[in-house]
Amino acid sequence: MTAAAVIDGKAFAAALRDRIAAAVPDYQAATGRAPGLAVVLVGDDPASAVYVGSKGKATIAAGMESFEYRLPADAAQEDVEALLKQLNADEKVDGILLQLPLPSHLDEQAAVGTIDPNKDVDGLTPVSTGRLALGIDGLVPCTPLGSLMLLQDQLGDLSGLEAVVIGRSILVGKPMAQLLLGANCTVTLAHSRTRDLPDIVRRADIVVAAVGRAEMVKGDWLKPGAVVIDVGINRLAPAGEETKGRLVGDVDYGSAEPHVRAITPVPGGVGPMTIACLLRNTLVAAHRRAGLPDPKGV
């Protein structure tokens, strides 16, 4: 078999961000202001702080307005929900994102549920989830949306293809399965209790691994010629004092690569698409809130 294509999510995301930035001035001319994205971080998880910082920088680089809110790790549920309601009412804010995970004493679903669905650029409110399940146009979670874009770029029409999604999280697995179903794939949603997982994965033309276990999916689980989207971001324990922990996905890249038609690397695959799709959703939300047609090409 010929060498697998390495799907360059970083370059794809950069091109998408450029198209978004190019569309912002038209919105600004029509409304008199730039689209605004508010990101809320509760607590001091270092990885979350990095992601929130990257989102703020990317928002500004796209010509949008960035609003960042930080609440302490011991914030009460009422404090989080009060802030989200305040942002719902803020006319300058088109998109609201509550960075996850929240500290464990907080109820994530209840907090997310207070976000105005028209500003739900993470696509996680019950209304957004329902719209996706019903096939009604709405705002779709960023990582699955970015994964779908990469798949369609590789494969074109996905109709009739067998897709296996491993992992049933609200953030990735479930919406990914819905998106693939919407693209007319035959979808299996596998998870930690699935029996004979390697055999199920072996059927798939498309594999999306979002299980959160380092290098779990092995090369001999994959159908020759499959396209693999690796959503996992796992930092391996440092091998020595001076060695930084290596970042790996949920797929054992070394054993998978010789079997497949195309695969996303980690880092540089799906990860960068998450933030690019957040900007895309913010631009779309801003247009819809202003009663403008959806922006083209994003």
Ligand X SMILES: Nc1nc2c(c(=O)[nH]1)N[C@@H](CN(C=O)c1ccc(C(=O)N[C@@H](CCC(=O)O)C(=O)O)cc1)CN2
- Per the annotation, binding residues are 167-169, 233
β-pair partners for 204: none
Q: How far is CA 201 from CA 21, 171, 198, 205, 220, in A?
A: 38, 21, 5, 9, 10
**Residue (170 or 290) nearer to ligand X, CB:** 170
- DSSP-assigned letter for residue 66: E
Q: Which of 59, 99, 114, 147 binds ligand X (CB under 6 A)?
A: 99
Residue 139 interacts with ligand X (CB under 6 A): yes or no: no
Q: Could you tell me which stretch among 59-67, 83-91, 150-158, 261-269 binds ligand X (CB under 6 A)?
A: 261-269
**Residue (51 or 253) nearer to ligand X, CB:** 51
Spatial distance between the Cα atoms of 7 and 270, rounded to a whole number of angstroms: 9
- DSSP assignment of 230-291, as one string? E---EEPPPSSTTSPPPEE-SB-HHHHGGG-SEE--SSSSSHHHHHHHHHHHHHHHHHHHTT
Residue 102 interacts with ligand X (CB under 6 A): yes or no: no
Asked if 55 is an active-site residue, the reply is yes
Q: Shortest approach of ligand X to residue 4 CB, angstroms?
A: 18
Asked if 99 is an active-site residue, the reply is yes
* Known binding-site residue numbers for NADP(+): 167-169, 233
Residue 274 interacts with ligand X (CB under 6 A): yes or no: yes
Asked if 122 is an active-site residue, the reply is yes
Spatial distance between the Cα atoms of 149 and 187, rounded to a whole number of angstroms: 17
Could you tell me whether strands 234-235 and 247-248 are parallel, antiparallel, or unpaired per DSSP bridges?
Answer: antiparallel
Q: Please list every residue from 103 through 122 that binds ligand X, using CB under 6 A.
A: 122
In the complex, which residues of this chain contact ligand X (CB under 6 A)? 51, 97-100, 122, 142-143, 171, 233, 247, 266-268, 271-272, 274-275
> What amino acid positions are annotated as catalytic residues?
55, 99, 122
